[in-house]
Amino acid sequence: TYERAFMALGGVLLVLCMAALVYATVAMGIHLPGRAGEIEPGKVFTTPPFDNPGVHQTGPNQYDVVIIGQAWRFHPTEIRVPVGAELNFIATTFDVIHGFHIEGTRVNMMLIPGQISRLTYRFRKPGEYLIICHEYCGAGHHNMYGKIIVE
Ligand code: CUA
């Protein structure tokens, strides 16, 4: 009957919607923030791995990139990574909400007090990329940027 066909269509649309959401989350790199209470914001500089921000090799072609946002800079300000390597970004904030966006890429995270943001990315092309804070974080917001050198 028409009614059953209509219900089936509704079910198919629902599944498509969920698939689109999963695709958006995974493939497009839309970031789902971490859990609240993962880290104490005031103690990030003494809590591993944030006590040692920067690029750390974890495998043959694999690196952790540990980042802290603080009004109004990133720690570290400048990082160097190899082209093609798997980069696991691990980031948080010391104070207020910041953004972490690498221009020209899908790397786009919110840094939320108490939470750890994670995202994996590989650069296909060498070059210099600007890192910008794209969440308003106060008077120095427009000066909050960094650089990533892919070589
Ligand atoms: Cu940090 Cu805007």
Name which residue leads in pLDDT, 7 or 97: 97
**What pLDDT digit, counting tens, does each position of 76-112 carry?**
999 999 999 999 999 999 999 999 999 999 999 999 9
Distance separating alpha carbons of residues 136 and 151, to the nearest angstrom: 31
Q: Does an H or E element contain 20, and which?
A: helix 2-26
CA dist., res. 19 & res. 72, Å (int)? 38
The answer to whether the CB of 135 is under 6 A from ligand 1 is yes
Asked whether 98 and 142 are in contact (CB, 8 A), the reply is no
CB of 101 closer than 6 A to ligand 1? no
In short, whether 74's Cβ falls inside 6 Å of ligand 1 is: no
Q: Residue 25 pLDDT > 60, yes or no?
A: no
38-89 pLDDT, tens digit per residue, is 999 889 999 999 999 999 999 999 999 999 999 999 999 999 999 999 999 9
- Tokens found for residue 112: 């939320």
Classify residue 144 by burial, with Cβ atoms within 10 Å: 0-12, 13-18, 19+. buried
Q: Where does the pLDDT of residue 16 fall: very low under 50, low under 70, confident under 90, or very high at 90 and above?
A: confident
